[in-house]
A and B are shown apart, each in its own frame.
Chain A
Amino acid sequence: MTSELVIQNLHVTVNDGEKEVLKGVNLTIRQDEIHALMGPNGSGKSTLAYAIMGHPHYTVTEGDILLDGESVLEMEPNERARKGLFLAFQYPVAVPGVSMANFLRTAVSNVRGYTDQQPTSEDGRPGVIGSNLMPMRDFRRELLDKMDEYHVDRDFAKRYLNEGFSGGEKKRVEILQMAMLQPKIAIMDETDSGLDIDALRVVSDGVNKLAGTGLGILLITHYQRILEYVKPDYVHVFYNGRIVRSGGAEVAHELEARGYQSVREEFGEPELVTA
């Protein structure tokens, strides 16, 4: 079965309902499809990404998010991840003292069901770190292979998650995690920003490779540049909390040539739009 993520008339507020950031987003992403989402700063792209993943600061006030027909709105972020959603963060956070390998082993073990196989302790909580997980040797082998494949230095396994990683390194590690977790639908929030040309190629190769293995991608970007490596099936223009234009690659070319001017002319400045 082909998985699909359906976003229906999604309205989202931040700051306890003070501000509506998403104002009716409609979008369907199927496995093996690449959707590019382009839009000016502050238009709500990251908000869409966070809302899909279930960030507690964002409140859905209307509409729905369905994965394979099932609403994810009541699910915790980890349940959404286990159902096959993945978010590559625009700004991955550094978690002090948590090693990448340690963390990723737990994540992979959850997603692949290792943590379900063995009984949990009496109080219903999962076992101590190290028990109940994918066997260390198997995990290590797979991780090291993937690190080589995505040009991430092997030392990073032992390093603390994102701590002291350069901007580009963080992005590559996000792709590495995506490759290990094998989601069905991935939202990549400006994964191409801040990458040098080699890193951009590594990231795009990764995206292309994974896209061919049943991954559906929402690629949030500001740049035409990545679209030379990754060929989107659809390009959407995001403006003031909704998708205002959709089409093929030509939409991106038009934006590249004319900026958001024509969008502004057609839809007005955000402040002037009445909700």
Chain B
Amino acid sequence: MTTQVLTKSEIGLNGDAVATLSQQKQEPTWFTDLRHRAWRFFEEIPWPTGNEEEWRRTRLTGLDIADYKLASGTPEASSDAADLVPYLRDELDSINAAAALVTEDGTVRYRGVDAGLAAKGVIFTDLDTAIRQHPELIQTYFMTNNVAVDANKFTALHAAFVTGGAVLYVPRNVQVELPFHGVTAVSGGVADFAHTLIIAEENSQVTYVDDLISQDSNATFHSGVVEIFAGPGAVVRYMHGQDWNTNTWHFSTQQAQMLRDAQLTWILSSWGSRLSKINLEMQLLERGGHGELLGLYFPSGRQHIDHHTMQNHFADNCTSDLLFKGALRDRARSVYSGSIKVWPAAQKTDAYQKNNNLVLDRRARADSIPGLEIEADDVRCTHGATVSKIEPEYLFYLMARSLTKFQAEQMIVTGFFEEVLNRVPVEGVRNKLEQVIARKIHM
């Protein structure tokens, strides 16, 4: 086994760094231009003041991006998993995948792709390689129609410094049974800008498992973007597992666009980070789309997790089904705000949104703000939010059968998440989620 030493750059997040980074990567002009444009947006968009509705409950006190440096390092991919350091290998082994891509501090550490996939026209590679080998794909899809470069301050910063991440392209009618697995690992002091781009063409079927993990317990900064395109009749399953250490700043903007009869199962879990601000939007652009959006979170200590979701119905006869469940311990806070938007043309929309919170300690606090914006008349939209404590009668029943208070609470909390867990289609992901929940309870 070879030991890899990561070299940390001294390049901060500034305008000069954009040029330096692009040069280092020997990128084509069009991509350098995109970075510069993004940097200008970043400079133009003000930092949130806390007065904006979106930022009223989530303050960035303590964040100084000058504390974080760009990752550097030359790509040295291996296709032998045995070369990986143990924590990366464990992560890789957790999912039985068709293909995997492991990135550490923006550098590809491992790439393993089933040979048959390329023959079918499947492209699965890191962003740098995709820019060089498949420019037309990146020019068409990378932060163009889906997540806009200037969607917010963090997407602009992301586009200016994007490194690492993965691009997956699945051609028409190609169905891949096993998941693709992307692992993004980051070490202390590094600013990470991983990007996940998934393009599933007409009638294709694909599953993607995206895992974010920390190399150590030191503070890092992540500003990520996920873009999903589901073509007509495509079936896409995307599972995003954020399991950073609790000193990390996490900003993530994710958007999925769905065409006629596309089906999307989108599962997001937020475990780590000091503070998370996550924006998710599902766009049902053509008739017959069906989207399922599931979320789990379990902040502890003083973690702060903020999810904002948007189920955006542009077309008729689409359904969307959202369920976010969170448990909170210690002095943790969570914010969930969600919106279902139904445009005038989106008749026969069936949209559902539910957020349940289980508050385990007196000083933990969950805010839940559901919302509806409906401009069509023939629709069915329901939403609901609850914030509750552990039901004392559950506790007594379990304890009367010999469970200790701790065991009983553990069962009740795991049971609370079960409603989401039993909808997770990949066994490896499900197991991992169960383990994290147990770990959070034991912390």
Contacts and interface: CB of A to CB of B under 8 A. Distances in A.
B397 A95 contact: yes
B397 A78 contact: no
Nearest to A92: B397
B220 to A, nearest CB: 27
Contact of B406 (A77, A82, A103, A125): A125
A164 interface: no
A257 to B, nearest CB: 36
Interface stretch (B226-234, B264-272, B416-424): B416-424
Interface in B369-403: 391-394, 396-403
Contact of B403 (A56, A78, A123): A78
A95 B413 CA distance: 10
Nearest to B443: A123
A93 B390 CA distance: 13
B257 to A, nearest CB: 33
Contacts of A121: 442
Contacts of B414: 97-98, 129
Contact of B415 (A80, A96, A106): A96
B407 A106 contact: yes
Contacts of B406: 125-126
B418 A78 contact: no
Contact of B416 (A78, A89, A96, A177): A96
A76 interface: yes
In this complex, the member of B394, B399, B401, B438 whose beta carbon has the largest number of chain A beta carbons within 10 angstroms is: B401
Contacts of A181: 401-402
A203 B439 CA distance: 40
Interface in B401-443: 401-408, 410-412, 414-419, 435, 438-439, 442
Contacts of A128: 435, 438-439, 442
Interface residues on A, range: 35 or more
A77 B399 contact: yes
Given A103-B411, A125-B442, A78 B404 contact: yes
A87 interface: yes
Interface string A67-104: 00000000011101110001101001101111000111
Given A56-B396, A92-B397, A106-B407, A97 B402 contact: no
Q: Is the interface of B mostly helix, strand, loop or mixed?
A: helix
Given A106-B411, A126-B407, A128-B438, A97 B398 contact: no
A73 to B, nearest CB: 15
A97 B405 contact: no
Nearest to A124: B406
Nearest to B434: A129
B430 to A, nearest CB: 14
Contact of A95 (B398, B417, B438, B439): B398
Given A98-B414, A128-B442, A129-B414, A78 B394 contact: no
A37 to B, nearest CB: 18
Contact of B394 (A53, A86, A95, A102): A95
Given A96-B418, A98-B411, A121-B442, A110 B403 contact: yes
B61 to A, nearest CB: 31
Contact of A110 (B404, B417, B418, B439): B404
B422 to A, nearest CB: 8
A88 to B, nearest CB: 10
A55 interface: yes
Contacts of A252: none
In this complex, the member of A54, A98, A107, A125 whose beta carbon has the largest number of chain B beta carbons within 10 angstroms is: A98
Contacts of A77: 396, 399-400
A102 B418 CA distance: 13
B443 to A, nearest CB: 9
A76 B418 contact: no
A51 to B, nearest CB: 12
A160 interface: yes
Given A96-B415, A96-B416, A129-B410, A107 B401 contact: yes
A103 B407 CA distance: 9
A129 B415 contact: no
A102 B403 CA distance: 12
A56 B400 CA distance: 11
B415 A95 contact: yes
16 contacts: A56-B396, A76-B399, A78-B399, A78-B401, A78-B403, A93-B393, A93-B397, A97-B416, A98-B412, A98-B415, A103-B403, A106-B403, A106-B407, A107-B401, A126-B404, A128-B442
